[in-house]
Amino acid sequence: MAKNVYEVGYIETLSGDVIEISPLKIKYMKQFMDKFEQVKSAKDNDESIDILIECSVIAMKQFRPGKYKTKEDLELDFDMQSLYKILEYCADVKIKDNEEKESSIKTKDDGSSWETMDLPKLEAEVFMTGIWKNFEELEESISMPELVLLLSTKRDLDYDNKKFNAALQGVDLDKQSNKNNAWEDMKARVFSKGRATDSKDILALQGINAQQAGFGIGMGIDYEKIN
């Protein structure tokens, strides 16, 4: 089976249209999160739901440009379960069954929140690969899971090159520095959404990290959290 960078979902509108949904490109993710942050100051559940619907309108800019311009447009063609699915696939926002608001978004590589993530710095590092002509094009081209994977691959390659050059001079870079282990630990926190403490933690073996290892949670083994 081919490996995937992220999960893709499908929703059917009340008018019968089937829409493929996936993580938002960074351009729309920034707009989405600016709006989503307002949930924290919502006065009641109804206001929270209105904000989440507006977040879905932003998401539809990517999947159905120009079709759903307002909250009212979206309400006519989607039930609440479909809107919740949009939020989950587009930005990893999960809604509890009792409709309490809950965000499971962990985007920075140390497991911290969207608010504290230094997105420009991460984008600058990927931009140095020379693939995009400007930052606007970068943000229109890739999503956060793709950015994380690109960063991971780039840093691994950079370190391997340094390790090779050091080996030519008789230096074992792994023994001279704990940088490689620190990077592996950081990646473990990314793929476990902040739950893993280091690269040896079983919680790190999820998603792409699990696929690269050939096994992991959701790929033949599972775990139970014991309080």
Question: What DSSP string runs through 142-166?
Answer: -BHHHHHHHHHHHHHHHHHHHHHHH
HSE-CB of 84 using CA atoms within 13 angstroms: 13
Cα gap 217→207, rounded to integer Å: 8
- How far is CA 38 from each of CA 42, 150, 185, rounded to the nearest angstrom? 6, 30, 32
- How far is CA 60 from each of CA 12, 78, 86, 204, 220, rounded to the nearest angstrom? 13, 12, 9, 32, 35
How many residues are listed for the chain in this entry?
227
Cα gap 75→53, rounded to integer Å: 8
Q: Which two tokens stand for residue 199?
A: 């690269």
Of 19, 115, 110, the residue nearest 63 (C-alpha): 19
Q: What is the pLDDT of residue 109?
A: 39
Q: What is the pLDDT of residue 116?
A: 72
Overall average pLDDT of the 215-219 stretch: 46
* Cβ neighbours for 195, distance < 8 A, ≥ 6 positions apart: 111, 189, 201, 203
pLDDT digits (tens, 9 = 90+) for 198-213: 555 545 555 555 555 5
Which comes out higher in pLDDT, residue 120 or 191?
A: 120
Q: Do strands 9-12 and 18-21 pair parallel, antiparallel, or not at all (unpaired)?
A: antiparallel
Q: What is the pLDDT of residue 188?
A: 61
Cα gap 221→219, rounded to integer Å: 6
Which range, of 98-107, 135-144, 166-175, averages the lowest pLDDT? 98-107
Cα gap 39→51, rounded to integer Å: 7
- Identity (one letter) of the amino acid at 41? S
Per-residue pLDDT for 216 more than 60?
A: no
Of 80, 98, 92, the residue nearest 36 (C-alpha): 92
Binned at pLDDT 50, 70 and 90, residue 184 comes out as low
Q: Is 120 helix (H, G, I), strand (E, B) or coil?
A: helix
* Cα 133–chain centre separation: 23
Kindly report the average pLDDT of the chain as a whole number.
77
Q: Do 87 and 54 form a contact (C-beta atoms < 8 A)?
A: no
